[in-house]
Amino acid sequence: MKGFTSSLWPIRYKPLPDELLSSWLVRLAHGHGMKAQPFCNAIFGPGLQVWNRDIDRLAPEWLIQELCDRTGTTLQAASATTLRVYEGFLYPVFRTTGTLKWIQTLQMYHRKRNGFGLQFCPQCLRESSEPYFRKSWRVAYNTTCLKHQCMLHDRCSKCGASVAFHRLNMGQSSSLRIESLATCHQCGFDLRRANTTPIVTYNSQTTAWHRILCIKTLSGHLQRDPVSLDAMNVMHHVIFMLSSRYSRVRLKEYVCEQLNVADMTLTPGYPSFESRPLAERHHLIQLMAWLMIDLEPRLRVAWRAKAIRYNLMFKDFSDAPDWYLNIVEGFSDWRRDANG
């Protein structure tokens, strides 16, 4: 590859709609008849590691620029494959370390993924002549496919492994049949054959509210609006309150009672919404949606019912917008008047 006379590669795939950087890069490797790791070693050299990090999030400049130069892709189109495009919409400022709000964690360990940070829709993979993975499938509140009206998957339905298409055929000889990106790297199951499940609906209002939220994630709807970012921050904090493990906080159970749905026991040991399994995230999103539809009166009644403690409404919420602070401080005024 390095000795090729033209600056352009013989295979010059362009990013597909909403495609992730990692998906695009592996498609390029497979297009040249190579596995992902040997391809990247040949192009970037063994000193520049690609697959031991979340490249969709970190997206180093040297990698993006090389792909632009070798495929004739514009810098804007290449950059749009990264999770940095959500800066100012899902989270205020991009960071290279720590959890980014609403961006699912891969929990990288060397080249392995211990988390389930990449989702997929079997029907989307099935209907594409060349299966690929979408950027919006890394957003934690996107638990459904709007196009096919079904739940997403966050792991192989046969063996339970996370999605890691860059590990396809690892440990095998270099002379091999290149697998589709829709193949489980661990057991070889075709992810396109995974069962599709209708969207789990708690009520029509919460489902409609969730749908609107998911639509805003699509590239054509992204707007760096401070007001929208404030709302995203409040939604994230509401989920924090719903998933609180304090013994005197029962907001999750209270909202389930209002919706007349069964509660779900959350997996212990998960520090953030972005690290939770899909079923838990979908459950919390539906409960959060019910509160957000009419936040002030519903949160106030929950507080009066002692389902949520007053101090938890502020806890670890340093960037709370004024309109949210006014809502919560109004509860304090009511308490003072009631004790009159």
Say if CB 133 and CB 22 are below 8 A apart.
yes
Name the residue among 22, 97, 104 with its Cα closest to residue 56.
Answer: 22
Question: pTM score, two decimals?
Answer: 0.92
Residue 159: Cβ within 10 Å count: 12
Q: pLDDT per position in the chain (340 positions), as tens?
A: 555 556 899 999 999 999 999 999 999 999 999 999 999 999 998 888 899 889 999 999 999 999 999 999 999 999 999 999 999 899 999 998 888 999 999 986 665 667 899 999 999 999 988 999 999 999 999 999 999 999 999 999 999 999 999 998 775 555 456 789 999 999 999 999 999 999 999 999 999 999 999 988 876 566 666 668 999 999 999 999 999 988 778 999 999 999 999 999 998 876 799 999 999 999 999 999 999 999 999 999 999 999 999 999 999 999 999 999 999 999 876 555 444 3
State how far the Cα of 125 lies from the Cα of 148, in Å rounded to an integer.
11
269: Cα separation from own chain's centroid: 19
Helix axes 36-44, 21-31, angle to 10 degrees: 90
Angle at which helix 322-339 crosses helix 295-304, to 10 degrees, equals: 40
138, two tokens: 């890394």
Beta bridge partners of 91: 87
